[in-house]
Amino acid sequence: MFRGTLIRSGNNAKTVKGDKLGGYETAIMYLAPFNLAGSNVCPMAEQAGCVAGCLNTAGRGRMSNVQLARVKKTKRYLADRVEFMQQLAIDLEAFERYCARKGVKPAVRLNGTSDIQWEVAHPVHRHMPQGLWRFKNVFEAFPEIQFYDYTKVYKRVYRDLPANYRLVLSYSAAHSAYSDAVVEAAAKTGANIAVVYRDKAIRDNMMPSGDALGYDDGFKRIYRQVIDGDSDDMRFLDPTGVIVGLYAKGAARHDRSGFVVG
């Protein structure tokens, strides 16, 4: 297990399971979602209807000390982004060394419970053999780390994202304009879509037949293969053009906003 100031590995059962299969170790950063720390770090949360069903309180997240730690980290980010990014760089360097000692490949999710656009307006400095270098983002600064995230900010997948950063769109039928925009973004860019189904049985029934989510530019129904997104969290190894099928857990099981399907 890696324990950094901002990122940690070994505390998410799904990533641990996937790591054993793929020769990776995954570290995740958990912040306080939505506006729990005083400013919104999940800009599409209300449109997507995922506030009530957020996984923030799943597992160890329900513990008060964990919640306080996430709020503290998020306030640190909001108060001084430059200092926060420098600490993140320190953690990532340490995680790289840790993975090298273990003989595994490093993977990192920066948005465990947030939806920050790390690819823009988040420069970082890193000590290199040539001196202190400024990079436009952590993906450029740490090319040997595989980064990935789920996102509801669908405009992100239209960008020319770094080769070591994989984004999966997060679907919700809470608002038709939002769901239409997600489906359109996936159709135009090839990005995968994560869908949270009401229960495991509904998800599993979709897997052999595919699922319909909307219309492409030719007004033909979009059908995509549904894959099991709960067996592991290694989204950067998924084939493109699929639906990552998840089933509702924790508070999401009671969601009726449209975020959970079925």
Report the DSSP pairing between strands 131-135 and 124-128.
antiparallel
- Among 30, 170, 2, 25, smallest CA distance to 108 is for 25
**pTM given for the model:** 0.91
Angle (nearest 5°) at CA 220 between 218 and 224: 120
> Is the confidence at residue 237, as pLDDT, over 90?
yes
Place 233 in a pLDDT band, splitting at 50, 70 and 90: very high
- Which residues are CB-neighbours of 173 under 8 A, at least 6 positions away? 179, 258, 259, 261
Q: What is the pLDDT of residue 223?
A: 65
pLDDT at position 182: 93
DSSP-derived secondary structure letter, 148: E
Question: Helix, strand, or coil here: 228?
Answer: strand
User: Using N-to-C axis directions, what is the helix angle for 64-79 and 81-102, rounded to 10°?
Assistant: 120
Answer yes or no: are the C-beta atoms of 179 and 138 closer than 8 Å.
no
Query: Which helix or strand (DSSP H or E) is residue 105 part of?
Result: strand 105-109
Residue 38 has pLDDT above 80, yes or no: yes
User: What is residue 59's predicted lDDT score, i.e. its pLDDT?
Assistant: 59
Chain Cα centroid distance, residue 90: 21
Least confident of 21-35, 68-82, 84-98, 115-129: 21-35
Indicate the pairing of strand 221-228 with strand 242-247: parallel
Q: How many CA atoms lie within 13 A of 45 on its CB side?
A: 20
Contacts of 139 by beta carbon, 8 Å cutoff, 6+ apart = 118, 119, 147, 161, 162, 164, 165
Distances (CA, A) of 100 to 67, 90, 198, 237: 31, 16, 40, 20
For residues 234-257, give the mean pLDDT: 86
Q: Smallest Cα–Cα separation from 235: which of 186, 166, 171, 172?
A: 166
> Does the pLDDT value for residue 193 go beyond 90?
yes
Average pLDDT, integer, range 163-173: 95
Task: Please tell me the least confidently modeled range out of 25-39, 54-68, 85-99.
Answer: 54-68
Q: Residue 22 has what pLDDT?
A: 78
pLDDT, averaged across the chain: 88
**Type of residue found at 108:** V
Q: Band of the pLDDT at 260, cuts 50, 70, 90?
A: confident
User: Which of helix, strand or coil describes residue 26?
Assistant: strand
Kindly report, residue by residue over 101-132, the tens digit of the pLDDT: 999 999 999 999 999 999 999 999 998 888 88
Distance CA 95, CA 43 (A): 29
Least confident of 17-21, 102-106, 189-193, 217-221: 217-221
Q: Which residue has tokens 């990533």?
A: 15
Continuous H helices in 36-175:
45-48, 64-79, 81-102, 138-141
Phi, psi of 9 (to 5 degrees): -120, 165
Torsion (CA) 157, 161, 163, 167 in degrees, nearest 10: -30
Whether 219 shows a pLDDT value over 50: the answer reads: no
Most confident of 48-57, 94-103, 250-259: 94-103
Measured distance CA(60)–CA(58) in Å, rounded: 6
- Compute the average pLDDT of residues 205-214: 71
Which SS3 state, helix, strand or coil, does residue 150 take?
Answer: strand
pLDDT at 56 > cutoff 80: no
